[in-house]
Amino acid sequence: MAPVKLTMDWHERAGAGWLLRLAGIALLGLAWGAAYGLRQRALAGPASQDSVAYLLALLGFVFASTGVALAVMGARLFDRIEIAARWRPARDQSDPA
C-alpha cells in the first residue's frame, strides 16, 4: 500500500467535506463539555482569580467558533474567493485599473 501524500489540495478529495463537518461536530461537543465544566465551577461558588474558569471559557469559545465554521462550511471553507479591487494592494498610484 502506497503512503498517503498530503498536498495543499487535500480538502478537495471526495469525503473531505464530510470529515471536516464531523470534526466540526466533535469540536462543538468539546465546546459543550467546556461550557458544562464552566457552569459547574460557577455553581460551586464564587472564586476569585480562577484561572481554570478562564481557560474553560477560552476553550469553549475557540471550540465553538471553529466547530460551527467547520460544521456549516465543510470543505467550502477553503474555497478561493475574489478580492474586490479596492482591497487589493496598489501596484501603481497613477494606474486606476
Confidence at 23, pLDDT banded by 50, 70, 90: very high
DSSP element (H, E) containing 44: helix 16-44
CB 76 within 8 A of CB 17: yes
Residue 6 has pLDDT above 80, yes or no: no
Provide the mean pLDDT of the chain: 85
Residues 24 and 70: their CA atoms lie apart, in Å, by 5
- How high is the pLDDT of residue 85? 85
Q: What would the DSSP string read from start to end of 3-22?
A: PP---TTGGGSTTHHHHHHH
pLDDT digits (tens, 9 = 90+) for 49-59: 789 999 999 99
